[in-house]
């Protein structure tokens, strides 16, 4: 509940943006919201290049300077490598933008849509061609 309030507060402060994008069937999507939430100026605290899913932990500040800690999952490293990721793609201290589908229950977790790095380049979650077999949520056509 506390986390839910945090997310709600951040939304109210305009630090998070809900973007209307359709959701596609994928592994475990029942737990996540149908819209993308964007965290700007997110500071990476951990990048776990792990199976079955790589995890990015990050802090995002609200207007009061309070830090909310989030974790976002993406695909397995082998699938991510096929679409341009490496185990060095992000590192603690990096400041990035995170676009993700947050947990419906308000807990500070979710599934990645994509990250935007400091140089403006982006890395997205698995797409067709990267990890087929019902594990995809990213549709490149919806991100044009």
Partner 1 sequence: MRKVSTGIIAGVVGALCISALVSAQAPQNNAPRSPWKYYPEDARANEGPGGPAPVRDMSGTWAGESSGAGVKRLVPPERNPAFTALGKELFSKNKAESNGVLIAQSNDPHVRFCDPFGFPRNMNDQIRSMTIATVQNRTFVMLKFMNIWREIWMDGRALPTKFAGRGADVHDPTYNGYSVGRWVDDYTFVAETTGMAPETWATEGGLPHSVDAKVTERFNRSSKNDLSLTMTMDDPKLYSKPVSLGEVNFRWIPSQTFFDFSCVPSSVQMYLKEMADPSGTPAAAK
* Residues making contact with partner 1 (CB under 8 A): 27-28, 30-32, 48, 50-53, 55, 57, 71, 73, 76, 78-79, 81-82, 103-110, 128-133, 135
CB of 39 to partner 1, least distance (A): 16
Sign for the CA dihedral angle at 86, 89, 91, 96 comes to negative
H-type helices in 34-142, by residue range? 77-81
CB of 110 to partner 1, least distance (A): 7
What six digits make up the tokens of 110? 């979710």
CB of 137 to partner 1, least distance (A): 14
The H or E element that residue 55 is part of is: strand 55-61
Q: Which is nearer to partner 1, 108 or 114 (CB)?
A: 108
Our separate counts of H helices and E strands in the chain read: 2, 7
Q: Which is nearer to partner 1, 129 or 140 (CB)?
A: 129
Q: Which is nearer to partner 1, 53 or 124 (CB)?
A: 53
The H or E element that residue 99 is part of is: strand 95-102
CB of 51 to partner 1, least distance (A): 5
Of 72, 55, 75, 138, nearest in space to 109 by CA: 72
Q: Which is nearer to partner 1, 63 or 84 (CB)?
A: 84
């Amino acid at each position: 509940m506390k986390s839910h309030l945090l997310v709600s507060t951040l939304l109210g402060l305009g630090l998070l943006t809900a973007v209307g994008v359709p959701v596609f069937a994928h592994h475990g999507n029942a737990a996540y919201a149908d819209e993308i939430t964007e965290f700007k100026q997110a500071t990476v605290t951990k990048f776990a290049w792990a199976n079955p899913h790589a995890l990015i932990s990050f802090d995002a500040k609200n207007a009061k300077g309070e830090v909310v800690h989030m974790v976002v999952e993406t695909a397995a490293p082998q699938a991510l490598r096929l679409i341009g990721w490496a185990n060095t793609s992000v590192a603690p201290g990096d400041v990035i933008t995170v676009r993700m589908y947050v947990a419906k229950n308000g807990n500070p977790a979710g599934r990645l849509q994509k990250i935007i790095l400091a140089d403006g380049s982006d890395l997205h979650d698995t797409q067709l061609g990267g990890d087929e077999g019902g594990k995809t949520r990213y549709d490149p056509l919806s991100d044009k």
